[in-house]
Amino acid sequence: MTSRFYITTPIYYVNARPHIGHAYTTIACDTIARRQRMLGADTYFLTGTDEHGVHVERAALSAGQAPQQWVDEVSSAFRALWERMHLTYDDFIRTTSERHKRGVQQLWRRIRDNGYIYKGSYSGQYCVFDELYVDAVGAGAPCPECGRPTETVHEENYFFKLSEFSGKLLKLYTEQPDFIRPETRRNEVLSFVRSGLRDLSISRSTFTWGVPVPDDAGHVIYVWLDALSNYITALGYGSDDDGKFQKYWPADLHMIGKEIVRFHCVYWPAFLMAANLPLPKAIVAHGWLLFEENKMSKSRGNIVRAESILDVLGSDALRYFLLREVVFGQDGSFSFDALVQRYNADLANGLGNLASRTLTMIQRYFHGEIPYPSHAAARKPADDEIVAIAEKTIADYSTLVDQYHFSRALECAWSLVAAVNKYIVETEPWTLGEQQDEMSRSRLATILYTSAEALRIVTAMVHAVIPDATARIWAQLGLGDIKKLALRELKWGQLRLGTKLGSIEPVFPRADKMTIERMQKMEDQQRPTLATAEKSEPATQAQPAAAQRPTATPLPPPASASPDGQISIDDFAKVELRVAQVKLAEKVKGADKLLRLEVDLGTEVRQIVAGIAEAYLPETLIGRKVVVVANLAPRKLRGLESNGMIVAASPEGGKAVLCGFLEDVPLGSRLK
């Protein structure tokens, strides 16, 4: 019986276009899925988009679009990118699809019929932004997720009896220590569950963009219950044809980011238990991909898209970099510099060059046919060493990669590459190539066979990671279609003598100095366009790219003032003043005058460092609406990046007085 393997990515929220963070998760899953297929497993790889919730509704409205139109666009952007990257997913689920909605409602009914859903009422604080009920006292208390002031609400909701599952969940974590990886996430979940679980509100009635609660159209199902269900609805759960569900569920692996551990490790198993459905076998949480040590964010303007990398270096380069550079499970750092360095050192100089030199010599000395020694005496200890290293590498690599230690696995694979390069230098096949005697020819044949066979083995092993280049090396080795490779049977000596090489060409041409600039330039060019495309972000849209990246684009010339000091209306229009609300304020260490603020512009939260500490205590500012210069170029103060400026009156010799409003104004409103 063939084994089955069902693997999922999270479904991506369509409030933003795909970037390399999304690509990272999906690449990791694609690698695992490809490997499982090569190992002969009947593999099913699912990804998709999460399209419900108040954020999406809001984004669509502000773009003047119907929600459905909006989500169609963004969802297709994800699929377009995945196609370009040759990601081999088997299905793409959208939460707005009928098949999904039907399945979610079915799951709801099942949980309800089992007695785990009840109608209750909630009065307290609610964060509209995060759709989150907040356990806090006092009107306007800040949301623990985003820091925005919460609203006091009284509403009827459906609740899930999460509190009844503490014991069962703890039993699950104990009996299956590998249910949650890595260990540190497991510890978090354990302490969360041990501290006691409260029932979970699983419906919302304040907006409509969601899946209606069965038999009560006034409510929509909580986005997380909606979203998590995708893992089974995509398999046909709740439909007439649930063959795939029967076949593939439970999932072998849910791959997720560390920010959604709780939903996957606590809520999801509890929902499934309540519905009497089998639980997934494992959940693996990876870390975040940072850009040069910083979190990628819209306000920083440092989100890296995958497109420029694909255009310049190709998808293999990105795949290899992400899996090799980042210790899986931990946060990792992306930079163009590191990408190019890895590319040149490992792919071009390492594997690419090994293929090139080996194949060229076989071409030159043996007319392009894999040679084999005619004399047993031509064999030397160095050859056997390579065989031993190769066999050990096959074993070690597969152990590591099957534990999702991609970085160490690739390091291990490359140790074979290095060993073969060294072997070639030490055995000097080019010297033997000048000799015509039979012994020299035999020795030369041994060396080149050994090199080519080692190359074949590395190529086969890492195919799941760098599929395109390895397919080409495979063809150059004269081995045809790499897809037919049975990885499980991979071992030394399978390369047949006489195999005719294909045409040889470099697979990883070296990247020159201009490479980084080219990618960077593409990113910069893309940003203004994206700002326009992402209509959900009026603040970003209005913000010229020049303001975000002062080094990349020349700054506009200073506003031309007339001799009497007057400016034109156009000059004033360059200053983008907007209403924002302070959600967090704290003193900057070591600075008497500075406060670090986080302000909400309605569409984004950004950090501003303001020199008002002598005039205001931080805690008095929280919740206050202020005026912000939104398109001011970022600047570092005391090591903190300030993205804008708070407008205040500055009397001579007196303390600053913040600008405010007598009437209430919506966040993000522009002053003009």
Partner RNA sequence: GGCGGUGUAGCUCAGGUGGUUAGAGCGACGGUCUCAUAAUCCGUAGGUCGUUGGUUCGAGUCCAACCGCCGCCA
Name the site residues for RNA (rule: CB under 7 A): 135, 144, 184, 187-188, 191-192, 195, 258-259, 261-262, 325, 327, 330, 333, 341, 344-345, 348-353, 355-357, 360-361, 364, 418, 421-422, 424-426, 428-430, 506-510
Taking the complex as a whole, the smallest distance from the CB of residue 511 to RNA amounts, in Å, to 9
Residue burial 345-362, b: 16+ Cβ < 10 Å; e: rest: ebbbebbbbbbbbbbebb
CA angle 290, 178, 49 (to 5 degrees): 50
Is the CB of 28 or the CB of 87 nearer to RNA? 28
Is the CB of 338 or the CB of 533 nearer to RNA? 338
Residue 50's beta-bridge partner residues? 13
Question: Which DSSP string do the residues of 543-601 spell out, in sequence order?
Answer: S-HHHH-TTTSPPPPPP---TTS---HHHHHTS-EEEEEEEEEEEPTT-SS-EEEEEE-
Residue 45's beta-bridge partner residues? 7
8-state DSSP, 509? P
Is the CB of 249 or the CB of 328 nearer to RNA? 328
Distance from C-alpha of 9 to C-alpha of 372, rounded to nearest angstrom: 46
Is the CB of 71 or the CB of 227 nearer to RNA? 227
Taking the complex as a whole, the smallest distance from the CB of residue 453 to RNA amounts, in Å, to 16
Q: Cα dist. 484→33, 83, 86, 479 in Å?
A: 15, 22, 18, 10
Is the CB of 172 or the CB of 424 nearer to RNA? 424
Taking the complex as a whole, the smallest distance from the CB of residue 127 to RNA amounts, in Å, to 13
Taking the complex as a whole, the smallest distance from the CB of residue 99 to RNA amounts, in Å, to 31
Q: Are strands 577-587 and 670-671 parallel, antiparallel or unpaired?
A: antiparallel
**Residue with tokens 């593999």, as numbered in its chain:** 43
Taking the complex as a whole, the smallest distance from the CB of residue 422 to RNA amounts, in Å, to 4
Name the phi and psi angles at 137, rounded to 5.
-105, 150
Is the CB of 305 or the CB of 472 nearer to RNA? 472
Taking the complex as a whole, the smallest distance from the CB of residue 420 to RNA amounts, in Å, to 8
Q: Where are the beta strands (DSSP E) in 161-269?
A: 180-181, 200-201, 203-204, 212-213, 216-221, 253-257
Taking the complex as a whole, the smallest distance from the CB of residue 244 to RNA amounts, in Å, to 33
CA angle 517, 519, 525 (to 5 degrees): 95
Is the CB of 249 or the CB of 343 nearer to RNA? 343
Taking the complex as a whole, the smallest distance from the CB of residue 434 to RNA amounts, in Å, to 8
Taking the complex as a whole, the smallest distance from the CB of residue 510 to RNA amounts, in Å, to 4
Distance from C-alpha of 305 to C-alpha of 298, rounded to nearest angstrom: 12
Is the CB of 240 or the CB of 434 nearer to RNA? 434
Distance from C-alpha of 652 to C-alpha of 382, rounded to nearest angstrom: 83
Is the CB of 275 or the CB of 410 nearer to RNA? 410
- Lookup: tokens for 311: 């255009």
